[in-house]
Amino acid sequence: MSVWLGVLPFLIFTLLFLILPTMNIVLGAFRTPDGAMTLANLKGLFTPSIMASYWISIKVSLASALFGCLIGFGIAASVTLGGLPAWIRGPLMTFSGVASNFAGVPLAFAFLATLGRLGLVTVLLKSWFGINIYAMGFNLLSFWGLTLTYLFFQIPLMVLIITPALDGLRREWREAASVLGATGPQYWRLVALPILMPSLMGTFALLFANAFGAVATAYALTGSSLSIVPIVLFAQIRGDVLGDPHLGYALAFGMIVITGIANAIYIWLRMRAERWMQ
């Protein structure tokens, strides 16, 4: 019994702040305000406005996950396999560890101060080069603006996760491919990418779930101008004029299902990737 004492605080924390709140949300999604069981809350998820909010959230999550994977993979590959100086890796991994957890109000303020209508970069581009990005159609408080903001923590997260997989590519595999006459692109297409594909797809699923559940950054940046699911959920739980807490529970239940599927895909693909690397 004493061997469990060290992990007991973690188990208590998980029970109080993860398991019990999740169970309360799931049960609340199937109950009326009087406590009776119902499916009406789940039916409410299929109204056009709520379906539209889910679709916007899915698109933002897919876009940020896709660009985060592409850019993060390029950065990680440059550091691990591209021949850059070894001293760059340490600061990059340290920054990635910090930036991957930098979100919420501070991140929203940083982007508003940088790319807002009176942000530093916006003003410099207009003053020095005569480029008005807002006149060209850019808007930070929009779909692409929120996607760009999410990339600040999506790219570092990709770097952290994919770097060990790139380190697992053995030199012997590339040497064998070269001996057999394979070019660099052929090695990546026929050897490296098939081996890395479970890690890449798993990380994409994780980044999708990471973006789909983000609320503080989106709310601080866009307010109610972009109705993604977490913002609609926040409005329902808070109890605005049209607030319905139990519909909020149903919204949260839908988010749990989507993020749960994404995380399950990540775990399954991660296990496959680890078997490949052994």
In tens, the pLDDT along 150-178 reads: 999 999 999 999 998 888 888 888 888 88
Q: Which residue has the tokens 């993979």?
A: 73
Please return the burial class of 111, using the count of CB atoms within 10 Å of its CB with bins 0-12, 13-18 and 19+.
Answer: buried
| Three-state DSSP string of 194-263 | HHHHHHHHHHHHHHHHHHHCCCHHHHHHHCCCCCCHHHHHHHHHHCCCCCCHHHHHHHHHHHHHHHHHHH
Q: What integer best gives the mean pLDDT of the chain?
A: 85
pLDDT of residue 26: 86
225 phi and psi angles, rounded to 5 deg: -75, -20
Instruction: Please list the alpha-helical segments (H only) found in the chain.
Output: 8-14, 20-28, 40-43, 48-80, 89-99, 105-115, 120-129, 143-167, 171-179, 184-187, 193-212, 216-222, 229-238, 245-277
Per-residue tokens: 34: 């009087």
As a whole number of angstroms, the distance between CA 167 and CA 196 comes to: 11
Average of per-residue pLDDT across 103-116: 87
Domains of the chain: which residue ranges? Answer: 47-277
Is there a contact between 62 and 53 (Cβ–Cβ < 8 Å)?
no
pLDDT of residue 2: 67
Query: Could you tell me the pLDDT band of residue 225, with boundaries at 50, 70 and 90?
Result: confident
- pLDDT at 264 > cutoff 60: yes
Please return the burial class of 142, using the count of CB atoms within 10 Å of its CB with bins 0-12, 13-18 and 19+.
Answer: middle
- pLDDT at 1 > cutoff 70: no
Query: Could you tell me the pLDDT band of residue 245, with boundaries at 50, 70 and 90?
Result: confident
- Integer angstrom CA distances of residue 165 from 77, 160, 169, 273: 10, 10, 7, 8
In a 13 Å sphere around the CA of 276, the CA atoms on its Cβ side amount to: 21
Average of per-residue pLDDT across 38-59: 88
The larger pLDDT score, comparing residue 42 to residue 242, is at 42
Per-residue tokens: 198: 């479970």
Per-residue tokens: 13: 């924390």
Would you tell me which CATH number, out of the four given (3.30.379.10, 3.90.700.10, 1.10.3720.10, 3.40.50.261), belongs to the domain 47-277?
A: 1.10.3720.10
Instruction: Please tell me which of 149-153, 191-195, 244-248 the model is most confident about, judged by mean pLDDT.
Output: 149-153
As a whole number of angstroms, the distance between CA 110 and CA 116 comes to: 9
One-letter amino acid of 103: A
In tens, the pLDDT along 62-76 reads: 999 999 999 999 999
Is there a contact between 165 and 273 (Cβ–Cβ < 8 Å)?
yes
| 3-class secondary structure, 50 | helix
